[in-house]
Amino acid sequence: MNPNYEQMSFTELRTYVVENREDIEALGFLMSKRDPNSKGYPMPVTEADMQAQMEIIRRKINGEL
């Protein structure tokens, strides 16, 4: 039996998804709670795109962005 995703906070749901990566339904519910105003990033196509995206992620983690 799956937990009630609607009753979980965003943080609880994110933690659940990280711990239960095979639960596609939970991942879909988490994505539906995404802030529509947050910045989106295109899927990297080339190795250079991937490296640029990894740099953005590194900077976000370090609080530089």
Query: 30-43, pLDDT tens digit by residue?
Result: 988 888 888 887 88
Q: What is the pLDDT of residue 33?
A: 85
* Cα–Cα separations (whole angstroms), residue 1 to 8, 21, 23, 62: 15, 16, 11, 37
Q: What is the pLDDT of residue 35?
A: 82
What are the sequence ranges of the domains in the chain? 1-34, 39-65
**Average pLDDT of every residue of the chain:** 89
Taking 70 as the pLDDT cut, the residues of the chain under it are: 1
Q: What is the pLDDT of residue 23?
A: 93
Q: pTM here?
A: 0.56
